Amino acid sequence: MSASVPDPLIAESAALIGDPTRAKMLGVLMDGRARTAKELSSLVGVGAATASVHIAKMSAAGLVSVAAQGRHRYVRLAGPEIAEILERLMTLAAVARPGVAARNGEEAAFREARSCYDHMAGALAVALVEALVARELLRRGHDGFEPTLAGERWFRALGIDVARTRCAGRAFARCCLDWSERRDHLAGALGAALLDALLRNGVVRRRKEGRTLDVTPVGRRFFAEAIHGASAAGRRDSGREQAAKQQSA
């Protein structure tokens, strides 16, 4: 007699996410903004009645939340944990198709900088985190990051109150695996605060639709300094040391 195997309870959720129409809806909601049922139906190309059925199924499964306001129903992802699941599924899909390059300028821009629910993802987000770790402004832990004292000052200069962010009632500074880069970017309350600060300071701008973030000229300078500034400073210091040695020889 074979032993019974506990139901892992993933088949139903996987089937819900795997439906092409629902997957498109979830992808639209990955930018963190709420959409009306009518907007979702238009964006994914299905009728209003069909969209309502899909939304009801996703709501019952806890994938989206639905709030009525006047005559409209507003739909958004149920929370950052759903966005993380979707991002990891996108990473899995990218692994299944290795070496796929950006096909056009729009896709290249999407891979460079985009929102991942309430935080920033893409090549610049990954490079920024790696530079902050290299500069000892962030420390990497088991499943997240922790700013150093110098790092807290760096975030404060952007207008982020790290102590207040730490008390936000959610994960503070998580690692989120970036699907296009396959390396971690910063998520959690600190990641959300960072994206808010970058938007507020004019470093990046949201588009009217979609997740792509446009990097402004101010943003180009910001990322160049944040990512490459430390190494440039190191080269300058090294050059000065060599010159001093030559003069004393």
Instruction: Please state the domain extents for the chain.
Output: 11-78, 81-232
Domain 11-78, CATH among 1.10.3720.10, 3.30.499.10, 1.10.10.10, 3.40.50.1110: 1.10.10.10
pTM comes to: 0.72
**Which is it for the CA torsion 214, 28, 14, 75, positive or negative?**
positive
Neighbours of 51 (CB within 10 A): 24
- pLDDT tens per residue, range 4-51: 655 566 778 888 888 999 999 998 998 888 999 999 999 999 999 999
- Which are the contacts of 222, defined by CB distance < 8 A and separation ≥ 6? 198, 201, 203
Residues 6+ apart with CB under 8 A from 82: 26, 62, 63, 64, 117
Q: At what angle do helices 123-134 and 105-112 cross, to 10 degrees?
A: 30
Residues comprising the chain, all counted: 249
Read off the pLDDT of residues 103-129 as tens digits, 9 standing for 90 and up: 678 889 999 999 988 999 999 999 999
CB 178, CB 184: distance < 8 Å: yes
